[in-house]
């Protein structure tokens, strides 16, 4: 295979690697081109073209086979973890130091994550006391790239009603985040979840009204047992 030079320091490459990392999950499963296109809002033909370039780069950034999906190579995972660390540290800084609302930190961090230096990253981490989690409850990779696997599951997968602790919430839906915040359903909150065939009803005990979520929306919340 002919190798091609791919500039690692581009927003486009970073976005692809980060998307593959997130979609692959803790088990680093293969990610389909369709899922990647939906995540990035890019045409399928453009996805295929970029994946071929990333696979043929030196060093290769992804392992890609048409119709079998893509996963990160060692070099690609290293870079993805760097940009995820930038993003989640920035979210924590914006939330804790600059008092950004939780529903706004993701988009702001998306704009900044590609441009901060390693020195600036270190200063943010030190200022925050080297946090392990971002405001949404997602793990922040360590400086050396290590990151433990989360011990949680999507709320949509519970089979019976019960009490749970919110482990993390998706950072991609600002409208949902505002609803969750209003109902006191944030990382660390103890909630009562009632399972119904097409929805899950949540009660954090801080408001008079319970929150009803469709199963697709419930999938964006990860919980652990109390």
pLDDT digits (tens, 9 = 90+) for 62-103: 999 888 999 999 999 999 999 999 999 999 999 999 999 999
Give me 3's structure tokens: 């190798």
Q: Which residue has the higher pLDDT, 55 or 209?
A: 55
pLDDT confidence tier of residue 1, bands split at 50, 70 and 90: very low
How high is the mean pLDDT of the chain? 91
| Three-point CA angle 185, 39, 179, nearest 5° | 20
**180-207 average pLDDT score:** 90
Residue 3 clears pLDDT 60, i.e. is over it: no
Burial (0-12, 13-18, 19+ Cβ within 10 Å), 168? buried
Using DSSP, state whether 193 is helix, strand or coil: strand
- The three-state secondary structure class of 189 is coil
Token pair 């901060």 is found at: 116
Instruction: Find the mean pLDDT for residues 185-213.
Output: 89
d(CA 85, CA 185): 24
116-144 pLDDT, tens digit each: 999 999 999 999 999 999 999 999 999 88
Q: Identify whether the C-beta of residue 72 lies closer than 8 Å to the C-beta of residue 16.
A: no
Do 155 and 218 form a contact (C-beta atoms < 8 A)?
yes
Domains in the chain with CATH codes = 11-72 (1.10.10.10), 82-147 (1.10.60.10), 153-225 (2.30.30.90)
């Amino acid at each position: 295979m002919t190798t091609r030079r791919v500039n690692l320091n581009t927003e486009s490459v970073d976005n692809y690697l980060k998307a593959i990392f997130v979609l692959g999950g803790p088990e680093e499963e293969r990610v389909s081109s369709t899922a990647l296109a939906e995540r990035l809002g890019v045409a399928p033909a453009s996805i295929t073209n970029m994946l071929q370039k990333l696979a043929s780069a030196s060093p290769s950034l992804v392992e890609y086979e048409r119709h079998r999906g893509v996963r990160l190579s060692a070099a690609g995972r290293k870079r993805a973890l760097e940009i995820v660390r930038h993003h989640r540290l920035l979210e924590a800084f914006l939330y804790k130091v600059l008092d950004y609302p939780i529903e706004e930190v993701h988009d702001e961090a998306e704009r900044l994550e590609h441009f901060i230096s390693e020195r600036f990253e270190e200063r943010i981490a030190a200022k925050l006391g080297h946090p392990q989690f971002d405001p949404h409850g997602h793990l922040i990779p360590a400086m050396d790239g290590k990151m433990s696997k989360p011990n949680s599951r999507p709320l949509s997968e519970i089979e019976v009603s019960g009490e749970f602790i919110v482990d993390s919430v998706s950072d991609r839906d600002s409208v949902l985040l505002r609803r969750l915040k209003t109902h006191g359903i944030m990382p660390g909150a103890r909630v009562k979840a009632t399972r119904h065939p097409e929805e899950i009803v949540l009660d954090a005990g801080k408001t008079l009204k319970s929150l009803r979520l469709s199963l697709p929306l419930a999938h964006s919340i990860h919980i652990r047992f109390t």
